[in-house]
A and B are shown apart, each in its own frame.
Chain A
Amino acid sequence: MKGPIRGRGIVDGVASGPALIAAEAISFLGDVDINTGEIVGDLPSVHGRSVKGTVLVFPYSRGSAGAWRFLYQLFKHGNHPVAIVSREPPDPSVVQGAILAGIPIVSDIPDAVWGNMQNGEMLSVDGTTGEVKAAE
Chain B
Amino acid sequence: MRLTAAEERMLDGGDGPARQKAMAGLVQLGRAFGAPRMVEIGYAHIHAGMALYLHDVELIEDLATLGATMAVPSSVNIANADTVNWRATGAPESLARLQQRAAGAQHQMGAACTFTCTPYWAGHWPTWNTHMTSIESTVTIFCNSVLGARSNRDGFFAVYAGITGRYPLFGYHLDENRRGTHLVRVDTPLNSITDYSALGFHVGRIVGEGVPVFEGFTERPSLDALDALGAALATSGGVALFIVPGVTPPYATTAQAFAGPVPESVVDARRADLDAVYDYFCTRDDGVFDIVHVGCPHASFEEMKEYGRLLDGKRIADGMEFWITTSRAVRRMAEEAGIIRTLEASGAKVISDTCPISCHFARTVSPDPKLGVVPPPLRSIVVDSAKQAKYVRDMIRCDTLLTGTAEAIETAITGRFVRHGRAA
Contacts and interface: CB of A to CB of B under 8 A. Distances in A.
Interface of A: 10-12, 30, 34-35, 62-69, 72-73, 76-77, 89, 91-93, 95-97, 99-100, 105, 107
B56 interface: yes
B209 interface: yes
B156 interface: yes
B156 A65 contact: no
A68 B209 CA distance: 18
Interface residues of B, number: 32
Given A91-B153, A97-B156, 10 more contacts: A30-B364, A34-B366, A63-B208, A67-B155, A72-B156, A76-B55, A92-B152, A92-B153, A93-B155, A100-B156
A30 B235 CA distance: 13
12 contacts: A34-B365, A65-B137, A69-B53, A69-B56, A69-B155, A76-B55, A89-B32, A89-B33, A91-B153, A92-B157, A95-B32, A96-B157
Interface in B126-181: 135-137, 140, 152-157, 171
B201 to A, nearest CB: 15
B139 to A, nearest CB: 10
Contacts of A10: 31-32
Contacts of A73: 53-54, 56, 366
A76 B54 contact: yes
Given A65-B136, A92-B33, A30 B394 contact: yes
B156 A96 contact: yes
Contacts of B364: 30, 34
A64 B394 CA distance: 13
Closest 3 CB pairs of A and B: A63-B238, A68-B155, A93-B155
Contacts of B140: 65
B29 interface: yes
Contacts, number: 84
A98 to B, nearest CB: 9
A65 B155 contact: yes
B92 interface: no
A69 B32 contact: no
Nearest to A30: B394
B283 interface: no
Contacts of B366: 34-35, 73, 76-77
A92 B156 CA distance: 10
Nearest to A67: B155
B96 interface: no
A63 B238 CA distance: 5
A95 B168 CA distance: 13
A72 B54 CA distance: 10
A99 B154 contact: no
A114 to B, nearest CB: 19
Interface string B193-215: 00000000000000011000000
Residue among B153, B155, B156 with most chain A CB within 10 A: B155
B50 interface: yes
Interface in B342-368: 364-366
A93 B54 contact: no
Given A34-B364, A95-B32, A63 B156 contact: no
Contacts of A30: 364, 394
B28 interface: yes
Nearest to B238: A63
A92 B394 contact: no
Contact of B135 (A11, A65, A91, A97): A65
B250 interface: no
Contacts of B54: 73, 76-77
B423 to A, nearest CB: 33
Nearest to B168: A92
Nearest to B135: A65
Contacts of B237: 63
Contacts of B153: 63, 65, 91-93
B221 interface: no
Nearest to A95: B32
B25 interface: yes
Contacts of B59: 100
A64 B240 CA distance: 11
A67 B153 CA distance: 11
Given A11-B28, A92-B171, A96-B29, A69 B50 contact: yes
